[in-house]
Amino acid sequence: MARYNILVTGVGGQGLLTLGRVVGNAAILAGIDATIAETHGLSQRGGSLIVQIRLGEGESPLIPRGAADLVIGMEVLETARRIIYANPNTRVAMNKFLWPPPLVDYPDLEQVIGKIKETGVKLYMIDANRISEDVVGSVISANMVMLGFAYAVDEGLKRLFDKKHFLQAIEKVFKGKAVELNKKAFEAGYEEGLKQT
Amino acid sequence: MGNEAIARGALEAGICFAAAYPGTPSTEIMEALASVAKDAGIYVEWSTNEKVAFEAAYAAAMSYVKSLTTMKHVGVNVAADILMSSAYAGVNAGFVIVSADDPGQHSSQNEQDNRWYGMHAHIPVVEPSSPRDAYKLIKAAYMLSEKYKHPVLFRSTTRISHTRQPVIFEQDIPVEKKCKGRFDRDIERWVLVPAHGRKQKKRMMEVWRKVAEDEGVEPFIRIINPGMKKAIIASGIAYSHVMEALELLGKKDEYTVVKVSLPVPLPYKPILRVLKEAQEVLVVEELDPVLEMQIKKIAYDNGVTTKICGKDIVPINGELDLDSVARSILSFEGREPIMPWKPLEPLKLEPPIPARPPVMCAGCPHRNTYYIVKTAANKAGLKDPIFTGDIGCYTLGYEPPFYTQMTSLEMGGSIGVAHGLSKVVDEPVIAVIGDSTFYHAGLPPSINIVYNKGHAVVLVLDNQYTAMTGHQPHPGTGLTAMGEPAVRVPIEKLLETMGYKTYVINPMNVKESINIVAEALKKYKDGEQVAIVSRMKCALQAVRKARKEGIRLPVYHIVEDKCTGCMVCVKLLACPAIVVPKGAKKPKILTELCVGCGLCAQVCPFNAIEIFKEGSPNWLEAWK
């Protein structure tokens, strides 16, 4: 059976690796084999970053371009940059947050959203930064908001996981009071996602 | 994570000693070991560089204690001297060197293929194809090392080290471990004077011959679906891509696949069998044709004329993936590469999506130091200084608006190159190096400048950690890898002892620092040997400490009425927390990203940047 491919894209420091770890732990809980390819070191310092999650039996950790079933975009320009991993059947869950790199000109939000929609992908958007700030007091949990949101809008994830798998995975990845805050962030993203389906 | 799998496997193999210098993508192996060292009853250290780490771990294995050293691929270059000698003298207990290579150069200056080191040093190379495989094979590597009393090189790559995968443990970590060694005064073995070296070489070559002769068995060589007319021989992550590509292309039954986990020296017996049975063979390996050359030699030596393809089809640059491997297989069959996946075209946007290289974090002390040094150089009348650079987060100073890194070649290179330049060019030269890099390889070239009357400023950026690889402690931190308090070796004292007039600044105090650095640079202009240590904690660590201790850091904003839109803060600092909203004439601080370093407020000519949210009264504690 073909593996289920999730491409997580964003800017180094937005919590992409943590998001990947939560999905990885959820996969173990759900009894699904998985590989999660991360990038570390210099590329983590505010650069363009992707995490490649492949669910189902297999060892090759890299997603071919065009083979992503789900794209989780933590930032708008990075989502646009990595759209080449998608195909017209891909679902794209995107944080409505455009974070320009310093000292350069960039396309505006409406234009980027328009172009992504033109490709035919199923685009779902959420202001995960704001929701994270509302729920936990800072943007730090925007990644869990995005994961909850993606889970709500993506049929593929729903087929593979129960919601409890993610909540239990959050308990494994975070410590102390961060556990409850991140569960709340996940739930808030999930609620918002349900409204859009 | 693959690196954690390697650490676990090494523990199960019974190591009691591990030493390393951090380097992407190897770092987490030793981090994982350090985090359990006390519970597992083993010794773990962050050494000052890879050569020192190698020597420490090798000494344990000389003395009957199983040991591990890990490093990134270019770290092996630093340790190459002792690597070569270790193969001559051998070991008395299992000894594995993990080389974590970085095909695709995710975080490195090159993508050298360290399987060559095995060939070069006569050290067998074991290479896994997944994190799960790494967990099993590291144990096999220890068995091989024990069997032949010889070092073994374990070659991982980024996509193994930094891929997460569920791994089911096969056994417990042994409670009884050999941690106390004994040193045999075996002079003929450990003293490699020429007469002894010649003798040891014979031993080494005999090991080499035997491994190639006898180890063509599981787990080092596995033959899947034998007897087919077409065969693929693959090693490392390439094997994982091959298996999935064949499955996706529906060609699994058409091919014999040889999984090579011991690429160097390649055991020839099973390979020869496959070469004789198949009519066409494709060798799929990442980077250099290390397998391919050996396979072609095996064919030639045995008069086999089977068609062998390799780097004529498979890309030699960058990392392989499912896509490139599937294309290679179709191309090998003479078919059009029609893929089962149809990617979308890149979006056509106006202006296009800007590149997003890594940047210094908001609050990064390097930003302060670079701003200070450039301003002070102007003030001191130092014209067009050449900034030689080094390896660390501060390498990002090569980008606009700083241009304070004009070389970055290898660890410690900033200072050695600065010395040479100072002998042959007229411009002033400033060598910029990080704290960990200074301890690693900065001392000999610093001494060399003074001894040989070079003339370059040594500028050490001390953020108190090996920051880029994830904040490992070093000799300036005051902590060991195992979390125990340690002596601090003050960089300024080292430099003073060498003969530099040494200045220490806290770059958070911008104006004061500019004055001190300007004075230092004037002294340099007058012909003195000058060094500067800029000391401020890594912002990521300051933020972490603040969060942990409930300290609120101040947050700044730009007061619109006072801001004239001069863009000085944007153009001189390139802080990711300061953005210019699309179409706006004035910049804005993303308050959720500001960590309150206050540099922009000190730089703004119109005092338009003010505190928006006060920090806790003790907020400076977070930066200490």
Task: Summarize pLDDT for B189-243 with one digit per residue, the tens.
Answer: 999 999 999 999 999 999 999 999 999 999 999 999 999 999 999 999 999 999 9
For testing contact with chain A, the best of B347, B367, B391 (most A CBs within 10 A): B347
> Does the CB of B348 have a partner CB in chain A at under 8 Å?
yes
> Does the CB of A51 have a partner CB in chain B at under 8 Å?
no
Burial of B156: CB neighbours in 10 Å, binned 0-12, 13-18, 19+: buried
Find the CB nearest B358 among A46, A60, A139.
Answer: A46
A vs B: CB pairs below 8 A: 211
The residues, ordered by sequence, that sit 6+ positions from B440 with a Cβ below 8 Å of its Cβ are B21, B48, B49, B78, B411, B412
> Does the CB of B243 have a partner CB in chain A at under 8 Å?
yes
Residue B125 has a pLDDT of 98
| Cα A150 from Cα A154, distance rounded (Å) | 6
Residue B337 has a pLDDT of 83
> Does the CB of A64 have a partner CB in chain B at under 8 Å?
yes
| Cα B453 from Cα B82, distance rounded (Å) | 31
CA distance A191 to chain B (A): 24
Find the CB nearest A81 among B323, B353, B593.
Answer: B353
Identify the H or E element spanning B602: helix B599-603
**What is the mean predicted confidence (pLDDT) over A1-16?**
92
Find the CB nearest A59 among B244, B319, B469.
Answer: B244
Find the CB nearest B469 among A41, A47, A59.
Answer: A41
Which pair of structure tokens corresponds to residue B40?
């597992």
Which contacts qualify for B33-36: CB closer than 8 Å, 24 or more apart? B33/B7, B33/B68, B34/B481, B34/B482, B34/B483, B36/B11
SS3 at position B395: helix
Domain ranges of chain A: 4-195
Chain A residues with beta carbon closer than 8 angstroms to that of B351: 105-107
CATH architecture entry for B221-332: 3-Layer(aba) Sandwich (3.40)
Give me the half-sphere count of Cα atoms (radius 13 Å) on the Cβ side of residue B607. 0
Regions of chain B with pLDDT less than 50:
none
Burial of B616: CB neighbours in 10 Å, binned 0-12, 13-18, 19+: middle
**Number of other residues whose CB lies within 10 A of the CB of residue B171:** 9
Residue A1 has a pLDDT of 56
| Cα B188 from Cα B89, distance rounded (Å) | 9
Chain A residues with beta carbon closer than 8 angstroms to that of B131: 35
Residue B437 has a pLDDT of 98
Structure confidence by residue, pLDDT tens digits, B84-135: 999 999 999 999 999 999 999 998 999 999 999 999 999 999 999 999 999 9
| Cα B489 from Cα B283, distance rounded (Å) | 50
Give residue A45's pLDDT band: very low, low, confident or very high (50, 70, 90): confident
> Does the CB of B280 have a partner CB in chain A at under 8 Å?
no
| Smallest CA–CA distance from A37 into chain B, residue | B163
Instruction: Give contacts of B 585-604 with A, CB under 8 A.
Output: 590, 592-593
| Smallest CA–CA distance from B354 into chain A, residue | A106
Interface contact flag, A88 B25, Cβ < 8 Å? no
Q: What's the one-letter identity of residue B175?
A: V
| Cα B273 from Cα B217, distance rounded (Å) | 13
- B256 contacts B225 by C-beta, under 8 angstroms: yes
CATH of domain B544-623: 3.30.70.20
SS3 at position A101: coil
Interface contact flag, B356 A13, Cβ < 8 Å? no
CATH architecture entry for B365-536: 3-Layer(aba) Sandwich (3.40)
Interface contact flag, A77 B244, Cβ < 8 Å? no
Q: A4-195 belongs to which homologous superfamily? A: Pyruvate-ferredoxin oxidoreductase, PFOR, domain III (3.40.920.10)
Chain B residues with beta carbon closer than 8 angstroms to that of A38: 1, 162-164
Vertex B545: Cα angle to B610 and A142 (nearest 5): 75
| Cα A73 from Cα B54, distance rounded (Å) | 42
Find the CB nearest A46 among B129, B159, B361.
Answer: B361
Interface contact flag, B132 A59, Cβ < 8 Å? yes
CATH of domain B2-214: 3.40.50.970
Tell me B472's DSSP state: B
> Does the CB of A164 have a partner CB in chain B at under 8 Å?
no
Q: What's the one-letter identity of residue B252?
A: K
| Cα B376 from Cα B369, distance rounded (Å) | 10
**What is the mean predicted confidence (pLDDT) over A17-39?**
96
**Rounded to 5, what percent of chain A is helix, strand, coil?**
50, 15, 30
> Does the CB of A77 have a partner CB in chain B at under 8 Å?
yes
> Does the CB of B400 have a partner CB in chain A at under 8 Å?
yes
Task: Output the average pLDDT for chain A.
Answer: 95
Chain B residues with beta carbon closer than 8 angstroms to that of A104: 354-355
> Does the CB of B298 have a partner CB in chain A at under 8 Å?
no
| Smallest CA–CA distance from B248 into chain A, residue | A2
| Smallest CA–CA distance from B245 into chain A, residue | A60
Burial B321-343 (b: 16+ CB within 10 A, else e): bbbbbbbbbbbbeeeeeebebeb
| Smallest CA–CA distance from A88 into chain B, residue | B344
| Smallest CA–CA distance from B165 into chain A, residue | A35
Chain B residues with beta carbon closer than 8 angstroms to that of A29: none
Altogether, the residues listed in chain A come to a count of 197
Instruction: Give contacts of B 65-94 with A, CB under 8 A.
Output: none
Interface contact flag, A64 B1, Cβ < 8 Å? no
| Smallest CA–CA distance from A26 into chain B, residue | B166
Which pair of structure tokens corresponds to residue A45?
């310092």
Give residue A116's pLDDT band: very low, low, confident or very high (50, 70, 90): very high
CA distance B5 to chain A (A): 13
> Does the CB of B24 have a partner CB in chain A at under 8 Å?
yes
Domain ranges of chain B: 2-214, 221-332, 365-536, 544-623
Structure confidence by residue, pLDDT tens digits, A61-92: 999 999 999 999 999 999 999 999 999 999 99
Chain B residues with beta carbon closer than 8 angstroms to that of A115: 347-349
Is the torsion defined by CA of A134, A135, A137, A139 positive or negative?
negative
| Smallest CA–CA distance from A47 into chain B, residue | B358
Residue A41 has a pLDDT of 64
Chain B residues with beta carbon closer than 8 angstroms to that of A108: 582-583
The residues, ordered by sequence, that sit 6+ positions from B501 with a Cβ below 8 Å of its Cβ are B520, B523, B528, B529, B530, B531
Tell me B560's DSSP state: T
The greatest distance separating any two alpha carbons of chain A, rounded to the nearest whole angstrom, comes to 46
Burial of B210: CB neighbours in 10 Å, binned 0-12, 13-18, 19+: middle
Nearest to B70 by CA among B396, B441, B481: B481
Interface contact flag, B323 A20, Cβ < 8 Å? no
| Smallest CA–CA distance from A108 into chain B, residue | B582
Q: Tell me the CA distances in angstroms from B374 to B60, B220, B322, B369, B534, one per residue in order.
A: 48, 56, 47, 8, 14
- A43 contacts A49 by C-beta, under 8 angstroms: yes
Give residue A46's pLDDT band: very low, low, confident or very high (50, 70, 90): confident
- B313 contacts B331 by C-beta, under 8 angstroms: yes
- B88 contacts B81 by C-beta, under 8 angstroms: no
The residues, ordered by sequence, that sit 6+ positions from B159 with a Cβ below 8 Å of its Cβ are A37, A61, A62, B103, B237, B319
Per CATH, B365-536 and B544-623 having the same topology is answered: no
Interface contact flag, B592 A12, Cβ < 8 Å? no
> Does the CB of A45 have a partner CB in chain B at under 8 Å?
yes
> Does the CB of A114 have a partner CB in chain B at under 8 Å?
no
Residue A44 has a pLDDT of 66
Identify the H or E element spanning B309: strand B307-309
CA distance B391 to chain A (A): 10
Secondary structure (H, E, C), B121-176: HCCCEECCCCHHHHHHHHHHHHHHHHHHCCCEEEEEEHHHHCEECCCCCCCCCCCC
Interface contact flag, A39 B579, Cβ < 8 Å? no
Chain B residues with beta carbon closer than 8 angstroms to that of A15: none
Task: Output the average pLDDT for chain B.
Answer: 97
